[in-house]
Amino acid sequence: MKDDLEFIDLKCINTIRTLSMDAVQAANSGHPGTAMAMAPVVYALWNKTLRFDPDDPIWPNRDRFVLSIGHASMLLYSLLHLCGVKSVNAEYERLGQPSVTLDDIKRFRQLDSKCPGHPEYRWTSGIETTTGPLGQGVATSVGMAMAERWMAAYFNRPGFEMINYDTYALCGDGCMMEGISSEAASLAGHLKLSNLCWIYDNNKITIEGHTEWAFSEDVATRFIAYGWNVTRVGDANDLDMLSRAFDTFKKETERPTLIIVDSHIAFGAPNKQDTHAAHGEPLGEEEIRLTKKNYWWPEDEKFLVPLEVSQHFQTGIGQRGKGLRDGWMTLFEDYKKQYTELANHLYTMQHRGLPRGWDSSLPTFAPDAKGMAGREVSGKVLNVLAQNVPWLLGGSADLSPSTKTRLTFDGAGEFTAKSRNGRNIHFGIREHAMGAILNGLSLSKVRPYGSGFFIFSDYARPTIRLGALMEIPVIHIFTHDSIGVGEDGPTHQPIEQLPSLRAVPGLITLRPADANEVVEAWKVIMELRHEPVVLILTRQALPTLDRSVYSAASGLAKGAYVLADASDGQPDVLLLATGSEVSMCVEAYEQLKRDGIKSRVVSMPSWELFEQQSQEYQDSVIPPQVTARVSVELASTFGWSQYVGITGHSIGMNTFGASAPLKELAKKFGFSTDHVVAAAKGQMECVKKLGVTQSSSSC
């Protein structure tokens, strides 16, 4: 019996290996080496340990598996195919169709295949997060583990352990070298996330060659210092030792676990100094035949999946996962009867919905010439929303006193190693890891936010980009949004950050102009289901506009709206602005009106939302026939030409700013009402004199 078991184990492992080899060869692109070396590891985890139902890959209490070494994507695609994982659509409906077919594998890395070069969340069911940039996967897995701990504290009741999943991440030397993994591992150890297991493929190979050229630290000692439990498997092919290592992880109750697995990538390497062929290139037909021969595999068969292999996965992860999932669903039915509100919350959260009354008690703000800082208003709104939406939680990269993101209502509490139900998360000074952890929290369906100074969005940019690629509604709050930071100087004054974030597909940027626009911004944010958002707020006070005189702040929902207009609705010049500069344009509008000039102020808090509107609406806000246009924004002018046209004028920043009080900076860089008025008059004169159209030369 034992020999039969070992035979089918080996056959399953070799099926994963040969599928990986064949797919990479057919694509003439990809990385076969790691997939071949790690096949025993993922087989032991998936078919013998993982709590996962292939028929329902979004079952809330499933274990999570993250392939942080995304270049080894064929490992995951092979598993999804062999386990028979089924597809789920965007409405969370199970389709009964395979997530990854053999034809998909045959079309690895080809257009529209479910097997792209690196795993992509939402594109292929069964993939928990998009990976590829090394270190991102393991850092994201920390967020998944944190989500489990919070959800368990919130939802579990005596006799109803609704949430108790584990998170596994497979990583390599590249992940270990990237700084984000160090940030994330440090926080995971501090928080004692014993439900988190990283499996480190210690193969001592990177694209350039042997790791001894660039990497010699003692990884085990480093992780022990982080507060992790560290164990080792000396041979990646030793299934017994792998099972023992996973059992050790399951028994650990105080620390996250790192399993160091020693493996070797040698297939196809022509010499000791050239391992790129095995790691980052196809093996070649002859090498594949020789390797298959070594596996006692039919040498000329391609994409072979023996029937007994599929059956073995069905009786392994298939039966185990179905039993666990069915048991959980039965328990949930009883849970609904005894804890109706919690059950509704769990269902609503898992479907990215909002509870009834989520927007109740939101404040409104009366006109006030002095006003409030955007960050102050946002903090007030956030505290109301978090009381209405129990799974809204987050924190900052050690800056909550400045970003005003601390939840202060009774019961909010801190998320710590000793208190898992706290709503305030302390990420420490780790912007990069914070972004990935936010992604992991969101992928687990809680609604997370993270905050920092806008200049430090650069540290979080890779994770913001991945969130947009995955279409997950993470909330990024950035304050100190301009040279308004003042004396802190150019190191802390964001210039290019806003236009560069606007360039990220699928990301919503919001820069509200006053207190009531901040409230409306949060209303938009909370209803987003598939878009991450960057909320950009001021440190300095913003005048609260009189909405009985000017248009309602609800226009923010369309991205841009007419705030103040000529009496006949036929302006001669347009003043376009975002954030703190809108009130400056309103002052200019009033001065121009006194001078007998018809102008229109357009508040444009979100270019992305504006671009989603109909062309008719866009033209009603920014009339094509009005070519005299001025934009005002305390940032780089890059991108404004699409709204002011080639003849328009943009008042913005062309340098990195300076260290001085805000009033002096505004004067130095031309941010004043008088300057806006002069620019508007100059535009009108230019248009009148030259008969300028949008296709004419610049004024």
For the ranges 65-69, 161-165, 451-455, 669-673, the lowest mean pLDDT is seen at: 669-673
Q: Where in the chain is the domain with CATH 3.40.50.920?
A: 557-690
Q: Which of 431, 517, 581, 633 is catalytic?
A: 431
The tens digit of pLDDT for each residue in 276-289 reads: 334 567 889 999 99
Q: Supply the pLDDT for residue 281.
A: 76
- How are beta strands 196-202 and 257-262 bridged, if at all? parallel
**pLDDT confidence tier of residue 464, bands split at 50, 70 and 90:** very high
CATH of domain 557-690: 3.40.50.920
Query: Is the overall model pTM greater than 0.85, yes or no?
Result: yes
**pLDDT confidence tier of residue 346, bands split at 50, 70 and 90:** very high
Q: Supply the pLDDT for residue 486.
A: 87
Q: Kindly report the three-state secondary structure assignment for every residue of 467-486.
A: HHHHCCCCEEEEECCCHHHH
For the ranges 143-147, 235-239, 468-472, 662-666, the lowest mean pLDDT is seen at: 662-666
Give the burial string for 500-521 (b: 16+ CB within 10 Å, else e). bbbebeebbbbbbbbbbbbbbb
**pLDDT confidence tier of residue 269, bands split at 50, 70 and 90:** very low
Nearest one of 264, 296, 299, 259 to 279, comparing CA atoms: 264
Q: Where in the chain is the domain with CATH 3.40.50.970?
A: 2-266+286-326, 368-543
Question: Which residues, 6+ apart, have CB-to-CB distance to 377 below 8 Å?
Answer: 365, 515, 518, 519
User: Could you give the CA distance from residue 394 to residue 190 in angstroms, rounded to a whole number?
Assistant: 17
- How are beta strands 392-396 and 424-426 bridged, if at all? parallel
**pLDDT confidence tier of residue 406, bands split at 50, 70 and 90:** very high
Q: Supply the pLDDT for residue 696.
A: 46
User: Could you give the CA distance from residue 305 to residue 290 in angstroms, rounded to a whole number?
Assistant: 19
Q: Give the CA angle between residues 23, 29, 32 to the nearest 5°.
A: 60
Please state which architecture CATH assigns to domain 2-266+286-326.
3-Layer(aba) Sandwich (3.40)
For the ranges 13-22, 326-335, 688-697, the lowest mean pLDDT is seen at: 688-697
Tokens 């209502």 belong to 409
Q: Kindly report the three-state secondary structure assignment for every residue of 315-371.
A: HHHHHHHHHHHHHHHHHHHHHHHHCHHHHHHHHHHHCCCCCCCCCCCCCCCCCEEEE
Q: Supply the pLDDT for residue 695.
A: 42
> What is the mean pLDDT of the segment spanning 3-15?
85
> What is the mean pLDDT of the segment spanning 639-657?
94
pLDDT at 401 over 70: yes
% of the chain with per-residue pLDDT over 90:
87
The domain defined by 368-543 folds into Rossmann fold (3.40.50)
The tens digit of pLDDT for each residue in 531-562 reads: 999 999 999 999 999 999 999 999 999 999 99
> What is the mean pLDDT of the segment spanning 256-267?
82
**pLDDT confidence tier of residue 578, bands split at 50, 70 and 90:** very high
**pLDDT confidence tier of residue 154, bands split at 50, 70 and 90:** very high
The tens digit of pLDDT for each residue in 193-228 reads: 999 999 999 987 777 778 788 888 999 999 999 999
- 431 is an active site residue: yes
Give the burial string for 287-321 (b: 16+ CB within 10 Å, else e). bbeebbeebebeeeebbbbbeebbebbbebbbebb
- 8 Å CB contact between 605 and 579: yes
Residue type, 152: A
